[in-house]
Amino acid sequence: MSELTKQDEASQVDPEDASASPRKAWIKLLTDSTAFIFLALLAMLVAFTVLRPEAFATVNNLRNIAIAASILLVLSIGQTFVIGTAGIDISVGSMLVFAGVAASLAMAEINGGQGWTAVAVGTVVSLLSGGAWGLVNGLLITKAKLPPLIVTLGTFGGVLGFAKVLTGGINLRTVPTELVETLGIGRLFGVIPWLVILALVVMTAAAITLRFTRFGRYTIAIGSNEEAARRVGINVDRHLLKVYALSGVLAGIAGMMSLSRFANTTIQGHDTDNLQSIAAVVIGGTSLFGGIATMFGTLVGVFIPTTLQNGFVILRIQPFWQEVAVGAVLILAVYVDQLKRRARDRL
């Protein structure tokens, strides 16, 4: 065998060389693309600063970007798990709105919508209703065997529809002052908004879960090869249910964050949350084809759409251009993802 191993190695000089270069190329591309995102973000910040330093590069404005990014980050954390399984969740923005509406309706029943009891009840209702819709997504995907794209496209429309039915299409404004004044506009040491801190705490927990736990391992394994996961006895359906439910619960958290920031249910404000979060996740380096996911990448990724949005408003460019830009960046990021895979995979 030792002789055979030597032969094996000798004969593999060629393939080994071939494997070394794609591997290097892969690492290079990966580092390059991560560096590329930082550079792109930096270039954006510099450009906006140069164009309107007095409005863009202020503490207040950068704080605004961070706040906008924090709500998107919480949605994108769920999206990272979902995309890690090679799935997709188009319904995140609708679940956010529905959770906010449900919470607002529930809070209105308690002390006329004021006080900490109302906040607590609202939070529970928001997380439960987000989680329930996530569970509906998961059940349709695993039990009815429908493609995630179609299921969540359906709930994207349907759940927002339900939210509008509940409110008659008019934004509810029942949000306890206690919530707005703490989570909504409050800051740690008067500097760091609580919204940002909450998002970072959630992100850290999610990053640890993804990287170090069995839950994270199964998420990646299913995205990498679902059939292989089934054959070794992993309960794939149950895991997918959990992942989609998690996405819903996180949308519920984002719903409470949105309520406390805007003091209303912002029904019209979340049509493109799905685009933004999917773009953020994929820009960050999570593979749309599943099997590769990075929470830190998502953290960087969310700043691309939010900085663009903010910069365009400040430059008085029609903010609609942001959607055009984000769409283009999403397509580019998926293209790069594909190139990375081709460079790495043999055969």
DSSP letter string over 122-148? Answer: HHHHHHHHHHHHHHHHHHHHHTS---H
Q: Which stretch binds another protein (CB under 8 A): 110-118, 121-129, 316-324, 338-346?
A: 338-346
Cα gap 344→292, rounded to integer Å: 12
Q: Which stretch binds another protein (CB under 8 A): 55-63, 147-155, 230-238, 258-266?
A: 230-238
Q: Least distance from C-beta 344 to another protein, angstroms?
A: 6
For another protein, the closer CB: 9 or 181: 9
Q: Could you say which of 74, 77, 292, 326 contacts another protein (CB under 8 A)?
A: 292
3-state secondary structure at position 189: coil
Instruction: Tell me if 316 contacts another protein by CB under 8 A.
Output: no
Residues between 190 and 219 with contacts to another protein, criterion CB under 8 A: 212-215, 217
Residues 78, 246: contact at Cβ < 8 Å? yes
Q: Which of 174, 298 has the CB closer to another protein?
A: 298
Report yes or no: 236 and 229 within 8 Å, Cβ to Cβ: yes
234-263 binders of another protein (CB under 8 A): 234
Residue 129 or 142 having the CB closest to another protein: 142
Q: Which of 93, 176, 223, 255 binds another protein (CB under 8 A)?
A: 223
User: Token pair for residue 288?
Assistant: 């749309």
Residue 326's nearest CA partner among 306, 297, 310, 298 is 306
Binding range to another protein, per CB under 8 A, among 18-26, 165-173, 250-258, 328-336: 18-26
CB of 236 to another protein, least distance (A): 10
Q: How far apart are CA 24 and CA 320, in angstroms?
A: 40
Write the CA distances from 180 to 175, 176, 256, 270, 296, integer angstroms.
Answer: 7, 7, 10, 20, 29
Question: With binding defined as CB under 8 A, does residue 58 bind another protein?
Answer: no
**Please, which residue, 13 or 144, has the CB nearer to another protein?**
13
Asked if 227 is part of the footprint of another protein (rule: CB under 8 A), the reply reads yes
Q: Let me know: does 278 contact 88? Beta carbons within 8 Å.
A: yes
**22: contact with another protein by CB under 8 A:** yes
**Nearest-angstrom CA–CA distance, 137 and 315:** 39
* Single-letter residue type at 128: L
- Nearer to another protein by Cβ, of 50 and 208: the residue is 208
CB of 147 to another protein, least distance (A): 21
CB 243 within 8 A of CB 81: yes
Distance of CA 321 to the CA centre of its chain: 21
Sign of CA dihedral 336, 337, 343, 347: negative
CB of 179 to another protein, least distance (A): 30
User: Strands 192-193, 187-188: parallel, antiparallel or unpaired by DSSP?
Assistant: antiparallel
> What's the burial of 94, exposed, middle or buried (CB within 10 Å: 0-12/13-18/19+)?
buried
Applying CB under 8 A, does 34 fall inside the site for another protein? no
Least Å from the CB of residue 249 to another protein: 17
Binding residues for another protein, per CB under 8 A?
Answer: 1, 4-5, 7-9, 11-12, 15, 19, 22-23, 26, 212-215, 217, 220-221, 223-225, 227-234, 290-292, 344-347
